[in-house]
């Protein structure tokens, strides 16, 4: 039943941040879900606790992806015309 066990891989106070991370995990083949997003949309004045959950089997891969650094300078250099 490991395929039905879930763990939180990240917490956010911004839906936009959560959606960016969700898209990154999706693109790398890690199934994930944003939870608590409805309450955050309905009650924006409250402190948000938006979480991304993954299957526990995917947790090590998701954590590794979350630690990856994005070097903006090298990205800019690679795309100069």
Structural domain harbouring 48: 2-78
Single out the residue of 26, 79, 74 nearest to residue 52, CA to CA: 26
Contacts of 30 (CB under 8 A, 6+ apart): 54, 58, 61, 62, 65
Per the structure, the count of domains in the chain is 1
* CATH number, position 36: 3.30.70
pLDDT, one tens digit per residue, over 29-76 is 999 999 985 765 676 666 678 899 999 999 999 999 888 766 556 555
- pTM: predicted TM-score of the whole model, two decimal places: 0.71
């Amino acid at each position: 039943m490991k395929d039905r066990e879930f763990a939180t891989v990240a917490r956010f106070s911004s839906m936009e941040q959560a959606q960016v991370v969700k898209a990154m995990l999706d693109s790398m083949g890690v199934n994930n879900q944003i939870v608590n997003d409805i309450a955050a949309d309905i009650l924006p004045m409250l402190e948000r606790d938006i979480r991304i959950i993954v299957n526990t089997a995917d947790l090590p891969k998701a954590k590794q992806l979350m630690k990856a650094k994005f070097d903006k300078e090298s990205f800019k250099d690679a795309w100069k015309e």
